[in-house]
């Protein structure tokens, strides 16, 4: 079972996921990159383009297919950073939690707000509303708080959690 890193936008999924994979010497995948490649191939539009064009439902369907199909092919020693809205779909959240080791990064709204102020994230303008709307979707898996922690501390703590899980199973 792969290790899936979920959470709201700007909680550190990609940064922490990549560093954690480097720490273990495992492959790293960003689900947004996989979904974006499929969107470009199928619709000749990026995730951002689909969202701007009001076609978020198309992007979410591709995301669902990637989670249900592509993620099931991953080896045990793999880290995947999920998209910020992936766990908002409770069906996907349940599937990921049952099929993979799920760690959900958590951060306070003020921390997220600072991290996204100057970004070009597709949902940046609606971020505060989405943060509170999607909160329930991030109540699965193992919660891990990233606020006020250096990346190296996050990696050490998460490595301990993962190694502890591997030794138990």
Tell me the pLDDT of the chain (169 aa) as tens digits.
799 999 999 999 999 999 999 999 999 999 999 999 999 999 999 999 999 899 999 999 999 999 999 999 998 899 999 999 999 898 999 999 999 999 999 999 999 988 888 777 777 778 899 999 988 889 999 999 999 899 999 999 999 999 886 554 4
Residue 169 CA: distances (Å) to CA of 42, 104, 159, 164, 165: 39, 20, 15, 9, 6
Are the CB atoms for 5 and 55 separated by under 8 Å?
no
Give the global pTM: 0.91
Number of H helices, E strands in the chain: 8, 5
- Residue 156: CB atoms within 10 A of its CB come to 12
Query: Is the Cα torsion angle 58, 41, 93, 114 positive or negative in sign?
Result: negative
Identify the CATH number of the domain defined by range 3-31+77-168: 3.40.50.300
């Amino acid at each position: 079972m792969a290790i899936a890193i979920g959470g709201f936008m700007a909680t550190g999924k990609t940064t922490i996921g990549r560093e954690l994979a480097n720490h273990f010497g495992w492959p790293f995948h960003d689900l947004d990159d996989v979904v974006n490649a499929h969107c470009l191939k199928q619709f000749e539009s990026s995730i951002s383009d689909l969202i701007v064009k009001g076609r978020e439902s198309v992007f979410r369907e591709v995301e669902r297919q990637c989670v249900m199909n592509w993620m099931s092919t991953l080896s045990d020693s793999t880290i995947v950073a999920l998209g910020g809205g992936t766990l908002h779909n409770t069906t996907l959240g349940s599937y990921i939690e049952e099929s993979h080791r799920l760690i959900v990064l958590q951060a306070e709204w003020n921390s997220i707000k600072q991290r996204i102020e100057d970004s070009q994230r597709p949902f940046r303008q609606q971020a505060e509303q989405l943060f509170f709307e999607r909160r329930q979707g991030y109540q699965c898996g193992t919660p891990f708080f990233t606020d006020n922690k250096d990346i190296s501390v996050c990696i050490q703590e998460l490595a301990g959690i993962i190694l502890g899980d591997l030794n138990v199973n």
